[in-house]
Structure 1
């Protein structure tokens, strides 16, 4: 099979960036902890290597109840000449709670360019903390992604009460809300940038003392967010210590080059290399954790075809930049069927390409 299955994420309707209006909800069933995976030291061939940029996995909202014991997750990978991590895979254990973003965050990280490195490893340690003990910056970061629902009021209260009385109910709604032109702000490949501004307002709702409180370090976004808030107006009278977040979607992180599919074809294959037709098309589902970061990938998969057209003996021959694209490719092909034949086939191969789409590389997942 010379063709490949192209999977394009339908992201055209998602914004490139936005202000992030927050919802603050009291908890009815007790506080819930924040789960964070913290990257450790990187070693390649036994030598310590310092990253240029190490992206942290997204903070998650855990379940209420006893705090679990500390967990760890070890990951292996290589680094190419440009400093990009490739061939990323879990070593032990195969899975950790709330760890879906560990491999994507490493794929978005960067190491010094120059000589390629092999046999690299890093161990992530899970930190579970109550709202009262979680670093405020982590609370802010969670509030902009909200993968497990809105940040509880106990978290928002810590963000608000650092500076003043803006958290007093009712919260002051905006009269005029000004937004940055996000398309003019440079985006970061594989990583959403955000900027939390803080400000005071006078009795007429005019903003004062606008400044960046926390951010991911995108200076253009920080400056644009401060400028937008200075031009905004709010109700609610004089307040101090108000906060408001803005975010800029990630830039597409393109998949690394892939080998020719036929170069990995098993020697025992009797599959027609020119026949890439499916009578039941594969169910194309983009891996969610990578869609959030606009990270592309591919996988080359081998399989056999039963006489009645069912695919079996599926196995991943290669995938990049992480093993997750191979696992997702297997799920994609399990839903497909080939045309019936008298004897079936063995050693068929196909490439699944996971590409953000449509053509706008600045489309961002929300």
Structure 2
């Protein structure tokens, strides 16, 4: 299929353009060129670019097709040039090839395929978004007020084209244990370091009743402790960080209230925006995927689904285990099969 060949060339171009989060202007321009070449009107805001289907009808529900074109920085273990898009033994190498370039160009192919589709049941809204890797201020979330109302979404991330019907949310908490600073040689009954064990014990005793069959329990992890910088000085404060992964049965505000009220220290959430996401396993979109032999599962990793309030499905070619790894790659056949599956999936609901 010529469309498939062309989006693989598009992906090769995107790989060869540096597009770290906040610096995606040049990849946005390359995607813009795709829309121009296919006579598809589009809009841009910051480094986000979007378009709607030719027969858009504001009376109909809208299906969002979204993936991102920013990347993380390459890690030090790379043995290849991360910006060299080589195809070797059926593998397309390069930074962002798997996360999430393969999904992005496959969704662009899907959108282009159905762009002129007459009388669709859903409007199609294609968004190539920026700053996903850092959940930035100019990411998909910033775009929502400027887009048509979204009723359903497919978020393109590497899932081996299996149906990620739920995704854990995230809250990062900064904890502060206050005390009285002093010289280490003097008595001090208010040493904040001596209070750490009390806080840790309270953290260990926090429990959540709702256990998800897809995502498991809410997971609380103490990931950082920082205090003091001199051996002979008792610090005035101990700083700790909690990483909390939230299943679909809880709102982040509920988790925040429980943790704030449970711990004997100052607690502040960095953000409550990164909610868990899910779609009913009996939703027509999920049923359509199952008819194509796809299985359902819960994803522990975060995506732009967190910006949405509508039902959303995470689905895309590639393997999540390759994301952010050295010498990142995606198989060409994964893209080819992904495009076909996307097209067959939408055929059932459009």
TM-score normalised by the chain length of structure 2: 0.28
Q: Which has the higher helix share?
A: 2
